[in-house]
Amino acid sequence: MAAQQRALVMLPTIPLGKAFQDGALRSDITGALQGSVNLFWNLRRQ
């Protein structure tokens, strides 16, 4: 029980769930990298 009380005192944030960042690209854009963040290099317009 002491470890749980210590964690509540020291815990800076309480995660309440997941967050997703939406993104969309035009159909003539290629080379988009897949990842957890939007990366804006390696893009080409056909």
pLDDT per position as a tens digit, 1-45:
688 888 778 877 777 888 777 788 899 999 988 887 888 888 999
CA distance 29 to 14: 38
Within a domain: 10: no
CA distance 13 to 11: 6
At 45, which helix (H) or strand (E)?
A: strand 44-45
19-31 pLDDT tens trace: 777 788 899 999 9
pTM over 0.85: no
- The pLDDT of residue 18: 83
Task: Report the number of distinct structural domains present in the chain.
Answer: 1
Within a domain: 39: yes
Residues 14/18/19/24 CA torsion (nearest 10 deg) = 170
Within a domain: 44: yes
- The pLDDT of residue 30: 92
Within a domain: 12: no
Within a domain: 7: no
Within a domain: 9: no
Within a domain: 35: yes
In contact, 7 and 20? CB cutoff 8 Å: no
Within a domain: 8: no
Its domain, for residue 21, covers 17-46
